[in-house]
Chain A
Amino acid sequence: MSKQPFAQRRTLLKLGAVASAGLAAPFISRAQNKPIRIGMPTILSGRVAMLGQASSNAATLEVDKFNAAGGFNGRKIELVIRDSKGQPQEAARVARELVTSENCEILLDAEASSGAFAVHEVARDLGVLVMHSVSETSSLSADPKVRTPLGFRCARQGIHDAIVGGAYAAQIAKAKNLKRWMTVSPDYAYGRDTTSEFIEYLKFFNPSVEVIGDVWPKLFQADYTESVTRLLQGKPQAIYSALWGGDLTSFIDQASIYGLFNEREFFAVNMADYAVLTAVKNVPNGLHSGNRYLKSFPNTPANTHWCNAYQARFKDLPLNWAWQNAAAVQFLTTAMKKANSADGKKVADALRGMTIDSPFGNNGKLTMRAEDNTVVDYAVGWGALEPKEPFMAKPSPGNWKQIAELEMQWKKRKSFA
């Protein structure tokens, strides 16, 4: 009898435990099925809103594909997309809010360079995994003082384009004996860095090239007439430009009526993107460009299929920012599966050195280089443009072995390695 109260108490405790386990079960199950929230700051208003739109479209396309295939252990990804208006301080504020208020576990940063550096610091401060999907500024991942263990880049890099473009342009310059060069690029960090890197490698591959003048119109300038006539006065044999988007479209239209492209070779790193190619009504023959995104480069069924799927859903052609964001989501989802976790640190460990199958790879694969957390082996190339599809009939793909070697030398010169 004396044991009776104990027995009753134990029974009560057991019943309590069972009951609480039963009550808690739905919550545990709900936590397991809780969506993985990925915060995405990008530019959805202002003059470059179409780039942010292309980014969010592509990321959504990939996330939906992933969710439709069952997600990660039953958990689906939820993209939380916010407009930064293209302002770095707003990008930083939005990124912080996405993590602290919106409970995002990962940041997919589709911000241009100025915003990307701001988001990078927020992610460092909060200890959150960030995948930069747009910024092309090499130092973001190359400079060890800037780089963080949880910061990755799935976007092309200026230095890669410069090496490939320099090699390609040097070859044309040798063949056509183009010695007098001028440049016309937007007067801000991207324009100046990209131009100086291109010229550096152009001269590296063809030392006989001489740059006889440079023109620096301001960003978003409406009228390029004085830039065009200054180029005409310089009488160069070839011109390089890092203008992009609507600025490049205006420049091409305004330069065409002066006949600037008639007797000169024109190299524009940002021309081969559908936003420009479809906006310029009369693409002059003989222009050269680096690829941004083209359905035909790489010319594989996977790339064509991806482009068709994008076009079918959004009734628009994908842009450079689109493929980069699609690839970024592909990296993140593959890393989650590999790490068997959605925890940022574990996903980051899985990402380092990871190679994935991707339509945007040079050989159907993309690699997240372990030493600087940045994507390599993507399809990068230059070629002569045509006014109609496929726009670049014979692209010259970059040699990634050569890119890696020269990039390492560049890093050493910059004390990054």
Chain B
Amino acid sequence: MELTALLECLGSVSCIVTQSSTGLIIGALLFLVAAGLTLIFGVLGVINFAHGSFYMLGAYVALTAYRVTDSYALAALAAGLGVGAFAWVFERFFMRRVYQSDVLLQLLVCYAFILILDDVVKIVWGAEFQSMGMPKSFQMPPLFIGGGVVPVFYVYLMLAAGLIALLLWFTLTRTRMGKIIRAAAQNPAMTSALGLNTRLIYALVFSFGGLLAGLAGGLAAPVRSMSPGMGFSILIESFIVTVIGGMGSVSGALLGALLIGMIRSFGSIGFPLFVEGLMFLSMVLILVFKPSGIMGKAQS
């Protein structure tokens, strides 16, 4: 425990700027993955354990697209759309068959796909780890704000994540599509009785969740090394985020992701050997005092 270092940091503008922006960027990327996970759970009621693999697939698709087009924007777009399309197929032919089944069966289907996708990645892209490298447009010195250091690339990533969060919020709360999705989440039988195609809604939501994971993988690709199995660690952290924020709540995922980001950022200064512990401790505290999560609704 290095409380003195933490106190010193909290008394220094440069340290606060650097660590806060660190927390924001960790949180922003976590949010993109966790948002899809929580959206799928909120509407479909299933936990997509293969979500980490979607993130991995997104990173690899972005790598290939970047090599072909030399454009980071196109690479991220290809990652999102490519994984979204894959998620559609995955939902249509596999997940749809186990919606009514035991959670164990859902877990097994997802786990099978985790293994299959790891092997597919190995066959297509190779077993060795790979790196996209920083796009030329972002190869520039970091910004110095109040003495703190903020990389330009991370500013763009935070803006992109913020924009996606805003779009999600707008779509879910201010559009007809959002109303339908919320209706399908609350009462699928009634939604179906009203003549709405719930199967299509489910496929759309699942696909959109996959798109978000793929986009996160694509956006983060310049600063992540890629290797088969890379989705596992992000899946664990995304689960922590969704549990803290409330399973099924997108705004909760945002809050949870930012909280985890700040814990990791400032925790690494004050509790360098207990950062992971702090993350799990915060999850335990939430589970004890508000089991439904910060923004989750208690089940009646």
A: which residues have CB within 8 A of B? 44-47, 49-50, 53, 214-216, 218, 220-223, 225-227, 229-230, 232-233, 245-247, 249-250, 253-254, 256-259, 275, 279-282, 316
Q: Which one of B17-25, B86-94, B184-192, B289-297 is at the interface?
A: B17-25
Residues of A near B109 (CB, < 8 A) are none
Residues of A near B132 (CB, < 8 A) are 281
Residues of B near A257 (CB, < 8 A) are 134, 138, 142, 151-154, 223
Residues of B near A47 (CB, < 8 A) are 129, 227-230
Q: A49-B122, A257-B153, A259-B141 are in contact. Are A246 and B227 (CB under 8 A)?
A: yes
Q: How many pairs of A and B residues are in contact by the CB < 8 Å rule?
A: 122
**Closest B residue, CB atoms, query A317:** B128
B107-150 residues with Cβ-Cβ distance < 8 A to A are 118, 122, 126-134, 138-139, 141-142, 149
Give B163-193 as 1s and 0s: 1 = Cβ < 8 Å from A's Cβ atoms: 0000000000000000000000000000000
Q: How far is the CB of A353 from chain B (nearest CB, A)?
A: 37
Q: Which of B129, B228, B233 contacts A279 (CB 8 A)?
A: B129
Residues of A near B139 (CB, < 8 A) are 282
- Contact indicator B129/A229 (Cβ below 8 Å): no
Q: How far is the CB of B116 from chain A (nearest CB, A)?
A: 13
Residues of B near A245 (CB, < 8 A) are 129, 225
Q: Which of B129, B149, B223 contacts A246 (CB 8 A)?
A: B129
Residues of B near A230 (CB, < 8 A) are 268-269, 272
List 10 tightest A-B contacts by C-beta distance, closest first. A281-B133, A246-B129, A50-B128, A246-B225, A49-B127, A257-B151, A226-B268, A249-B225, A250-B225, A279-B131
Residue B207 CB within 8 A of the other chain: no
Q: How far is the CB of A61 from chain B (nearest CB, A)?
A: 18
Residues of B near A232 (CB, < 8 A) are 18, 149
- Contact indicator A215/B272 (Cβ below 8 Å): yes
Q: A245-B129, A257-B151 are in contact. Are A233 and B15 (CB under 8 A)?
A: yes
A215 to B152, alpha carbons, bound, how many Å?
24
* Extra inter-chain contacts (10) besides given A49-B127, A246-B225, CB under 8 Å: A47-B229, A50-B127, A220-B233, A223-B26, A226-B265, A246-B129, A253-B222, A257-B151, A258-B149, A280-B131
- Contact indicator B126/A50 (Cβ below 8 Å): yes
- Contact indicator A225/B153 (Cβ below 8 Å): no
Residue B273 CB within 8 A of the other chain: yes
**Closest B residue, CB atoms, query A316:** B128
**Closest A residue, CB atoms, query B267:** A226
Interface size on B, residues (CB 8 A): 49
A233 to B228, alpha carbons, bound, how many Å?
33
B270-286 residues with Cβ-Cβ distance < 8 A to A are 272-273, 275-276
Residues of A near B201 (CB, < 8 A) are none
A227 to B273, alpha carbons, bound, how many Å?
12
Residue B29 CB within 8 A of the other chain: yes
- Contact indicator A215/B268 (Cβ below 8 Å): yes
**Closest A residue, CB atoms, query B2:** A213
- Contact indicator A258/B268 (Cβ below 8 Å): no
Q: How far is the CB of B137 from chain A (nearest CB, A)?
A: 13
- Contact indicator A253/B129 (Cβ below 8 Å): no
- Contact indicator A250/B223 (Cβ below 8 Å): yes
Give B1-18 as 1s and 0s: 1 = Cβ < 8 Å from A's Cβ atoms: 000010001000001001
Q: How far is the CB of B88 from chain A (nearest CB, A)?
A: 26
Residues of B near A53 (CB, < 8 A) are 127-128
A297 to B234, alpha carbons, bound, how many Å?
38
A229 to B132, alpha carbons, bound, how many Å?
22
- Contact indicator A249/B269 (Cβ below 8 Å): no
B213-232 residues with Cβ-Cβ distance < 8 A to A are 222-230
Residues of B near A281 (CB, < 8 A) are 131-134
- Contact indicator B273/A46 (Cβ below 8 Å): no
Q: A49-B122, A230-B269, A233-B15 are in contact. Are A253 and B149 (CB under 8 A)?
A: no
Residues of B near A279 (CB, < 8 A) are 128-131, 225
**Closest A residue, CB atoms, query B226:** A246
- Contact indicator A253/B228 (Cβ below 8 Å): no
**Closest A residue, CB atoms, query B9:** A233
Q: A226-B26, A279-B131 are in contact. Are A254 and B126 (CB under 8 A)?
A: no
- Contact indicator A275/B129 (Cβ below 8 Å): yes
19 residue pairs of the A-B complex, CB under 8 angstroms, read A216-B273, A220-B233, A226-B22, A227-B268, A230-B268, A232-B149, A233-B5, A245-B225, A246-B129, A250-B225, A253-B133, A257-B153, A257-B154, A258-B142, A279-B128, A279-B129, A280-B131, A281-B133, A282-B139
Residues of A near B272 (CB, < 8 A) are 214-216, 230
Q: How far is the CB of B160 from chain A (nearest CB, A)?
A: 16
